[in-house]
Structure 1
Amino acid sequence: MSERAIPILPCRNVDDIAPFYEALGFQVTFRQERPNPYLCLVRGGIDLHFFGLAAFEPENSMGSAILLVPDTGVLFEEFAAGLRSFYGKLPISGIPRITRPRRKQGTTAGFTVVDPGGNWLRITALGDTEDEAPGTNTSRLGRVLLNAARQGDARGDDAQAVSVIEAGLQRHPDAPDAEKLPLLVYLAELHVRTGNHGQAASALNDINALDLDPEQRRALAEELASAAEIRGSLES
């Protein structure tokens, strides 16, 4: 039998945790309220345990776990579908929330889920490295995006990520519109996270003004779909 490790993460109430993870496709394998609240969840080869503390503040949580998976894109789509069904939209701000898959400077491709307990699940591509990854964007604005994602998605410093993107766009005003699109989509998402909905709408308007030909729109279909979803969340 191979070795395995199971993280035990804190939460205020297991009643908040169970339905959230069930929306992600996890199953409850054990639950108790006394003598102390405890919850066990499993999804495929992923095991997560939680203990409840009534005085716990999710905003102050330092709980974190790295999940290594074969395909971060497939898992994101499965998680996203469950969260859209559960919440009626994709939660991209506050607690809980999910980030879209992005490569980050110095790290592998992946995304993050922040659960109702404030715990960060860092979903990472198994066996991938920044140098080996196919399609890594090394353009001027591509490198800006890598740095911004490192600040916002890996470190949780959304304000710094916004500054990195805004500086990059100002520094490279002549960059092709197709390179600007991913940065503007991320910028809109970051503004939603920080509650700056007016600035998010402004970034989305900048996206609408981009000059993209049909081939570029096909290649950037996922980014355009993300922008449309963000706009829909602002209008709902």
Structure 2
Amino acid sequence: MTEKTIPLLPCRTELIQSVVDFYTALGFETTHLQKSPYAYAVVQRGAVELQLYGMKDHAPATSHSSRYVLTEDVDGLHAALRSGLKAAYGHIPTRGLKPEDEQPTPVQRVQLVVLRGDIAQRLGDEEGARGWLEEAATVRLSAEERETAHDALARLSDLRR
């Protein structure tokens, strides 16, 4: 009998579908997916099989898992993986995928919304600009956050005149 090792990779239980979607973008086929009574999935691409299991408190940023794929056509595999990612996400992720539940900090929110208002105003969309700038003005900031967001708040003040 020939032995075979299959990696079992953890992911956050509630994100198993997005993890499967990521592997689908890489050209894997989903051969099994269940969300109940526990999250578990199997994806396969040629001879490569990965099994994924959900962990409620899994923290990807502080955990470690890996996989190692041997191939005779590194360039071909790399091109296929890149092509799949570009087709699925519109670009090639360079630093990982943003977690679905990640929210900007209040300072980041102000900076982002002021920028959107500024761009809308420059493009002549006064109504859109007004909406973005009003939203930026309603973000609650602590004194420390106000100091950090000083430049964005100054720009907000200029744009609202």
TM norm structure 2: 0.56
- For structure 1, the residue ranges without an aligned partner over 5 or more in a row are 98-115, 117-236
Identity between Structure 1 and Structure 2 (%): 35
Name the aligned partner's letter for residue 22 of structure 2. F
Aligned to 1:2: 2
Name the aligned partner's letter for residue 31 of structure 1. L
Take 1:16 and 1:68, find their aligned partners in 2: how far apart are those partners? 25
Name the aligned partner's letter for residue 21 of structure 2. P
Aligned to 1:200: none
Which of the numbers 77, 81, 99 marks the counterpart of 2:83? 81
Name the aligned partner's letter for residue 3 of structure 2. E
Take 2:53 and 2:97, find their aligned partners in 1: how far apart are those partners? 17
| 1:32 shift after superposition | 1.2
Take 1:71 and 1:96, find their aligned partners in 2: how far apart are those partners? 26
| 1:2 shift after superposition | 2.5
Does structure 1 residue 17 correspond to structure 2 residue 56?
no
Which of the numbers 31, 55, 58 marks the counterpart of 1:56? 58
| 1:92 shift after superposition | 1.1
Take 2:92 and 2:7, find their aligned partners in 1: how far apart are those partners? 26
Take 1:70 and 1:76, find their aligned partners in 2: how far apart are those partners? 12
| 1:37 shift after superposition | 0.4
Name the aligned partner's letter for residue 94 of structure 2. I
Aligned to 1:230: none
RMSD: 1.7
Take 1:73 and 1:46, find their aligned partners in 2: how far apart are those partners? 17
Structure-to-structure mapping, 1:66-145, within 5 angstroms: 66-93=68-95, 95-96=96-97
Structure label with greater radius of gyration: 2
Detail structure 1 runs of 4+ shifted over 4 Å in the superposition.
none
| 1:19 shift after superposition | 0.8
Provide Cα deviations, 1:35-76, integer angstroms capped at 9, x if missing partner: 210000100000000001122111112011111111111100
Take 1:61 and 1:87, find their aligned partners in 2: how far apart are those partners? 25
- For structure 2, the residue ranges without an aligned partner over 5 or more in a row are 100-161
Aligned to 2:37: 35
Name the aligned partner's letter for residue 51 of structure 2. H
